[in-house]
Structure 1
Amino acid sequence: MLEQSYYSKADEIISQHGRTQKALIPIIQDIQSCYRYLPAELLSYVAKQLGINEAKAYSVATFYENFSFEAKGKYVIRVCDGTACHVRKSTLILDKLYKELNLSKEKHTTEDMLFTLETVSCLGACGLAPVLTVNDEVHAAMTPEKVSALIAKLKEEEQ
């Protein structure tokens, strides 16, 4: 069960967009922006408030890859594993991140909710390969050494 503040925030967001079916996507985008994920209970609540069948709301939220029902860290790191990046050894970068952050293919987010690690098929920056993004900021020509420096810098910013 979510705290009342989540529902109050959802009501605020709904009032900004209006209680229409076409407002579903902008509403859930704003909710995800607030919490770094889309709480399933809030999606059900929003559907009810908009007069939308819950199944329809879930089908929209699961259709678009950018919606997540799992809480994500403050820094979402996406490592490209498309052909250009893979050929330029993006797997070494991914392995270094798993080790640096104590994560695995099964565990994507650090305990302190600071980092979430994801792989993606393509970031559309093949000429800069291998590439990763941190909260949509592109980091080109990555190496395992650059990964260590980047993680250290991000951790330092938190202190």
Structure 2
Amino acid sequence: MATACEFSNELNAFIDEWKTKPGNLIMILHRVQEEQGFISKEAAMEVAGRTGNPLARVYGTMSFYHFFKTVKPGKNRISVCLGTACYLKGGQDLIDECKSMLGLSGEQITTEDGLFSVEPVRCIGCCGLAPVLSVNGDVYGKLTRDQIDGVIAKYKTE
């Protein structure tokens, strides 16, 4: 049997306030992810129970919107832009290099030690600096594959 998910008092109050409002599920899921960094199975079950939504609807919403994460991100979150400009200038190459350097394979996005996660994003908003990636909100532009090592090394020592 799954253990109950513990939410903060603020999140509990938010759920109580929103559970009967239209559009509640997306708003509540955003708050859960904001608090916990991702949406665990236990959190999804708790949201389903508290809002009266079937668990399938909660998971359907989570899987439809790419923003929602079901895997705990690493301490250092590497977001690589795959918007049009970044994609055309090598954004996918940056993802491939990050994953290779960190030993990630297939669909794995978080390193075994939990220190890094790598994920594509649709746009960082720095198209003139393409290709772009950010680490914990620090933006790096006009990158090449051979510069990735230096970016990652900075966060390994912090």
* TM-score when normalising by structure 1: 0.79
Alignment check: 8 A CA contact 2:81 2:132 kept: yes
Alignment check: 8 A CA contact 1:10 1:46 kept: no
Give the SS at the match of 2:63.
Answer: helix
RMSD: 2.5
Tell me what 2:12 maps to: 14
Counterparts of 1:150 and 1:102 in 2: how far apart (Å)? 16
Aligned amino acid, residue 76 of structure 1: R
Counterparts of 1:131 and 1:139 in 2: how far apart (Å)? 6
| Residue 93 of structure 1 pairs with residue 83 of structure 2 | no
Alignment CA distance shift 1:2-1:85 (3 Å): same
Aligned residues: 155
* TM-score when normalising by structure 2: 0.79
Gaps of 5+ in 2: none
Gaps of 5+ in 1: none
C-alpha displacement at 1:12, in angstroms? 5.1
Higher share in helix: 1
Counterparts of 2:2 and 2:115 in 1: how far apart (Å)? 21
Question: Sequence identity of aligned pairs in percent?
Answer: 36
Alignment check: 8 A CA contact 2:95 2:119 kept: no
C-alpha displacement at 1:11, in angstroms? 6.4
Give the SS at the match of 2:139.
Answer: strand
Counterparts of 2:82 and 2:49 in 1: how far apart (Å)? 39
Moved >4 Å (runs of 4+): 1-4
Alignment check: 8 A CA contact 1:73 1:110 kept: yes
C-alpha displacement at 1:37, in angstroms? 1.3
Tell me what 1:36 maps to: 37
Please give the residue correspondences for 1:57-96 in structure 2 after superposition, counting only pairs within 5 Å: 57-96=58-97
Aligned amino acid, residue 18 of structure 1: D
Alignment check: 8 A CA contact 2:11 2:32 kept: yes
Alignment CA distance shift 1:28-1:81 (3 Å): closer
Give the SS at the match of 1:8.
Answer: coil
Counterparts of 2:9 and 2:49 in 1: how far apart (Å)? 12
Counterparts of 2:16 and 2:157 in 1: how far apart (Å)? 41
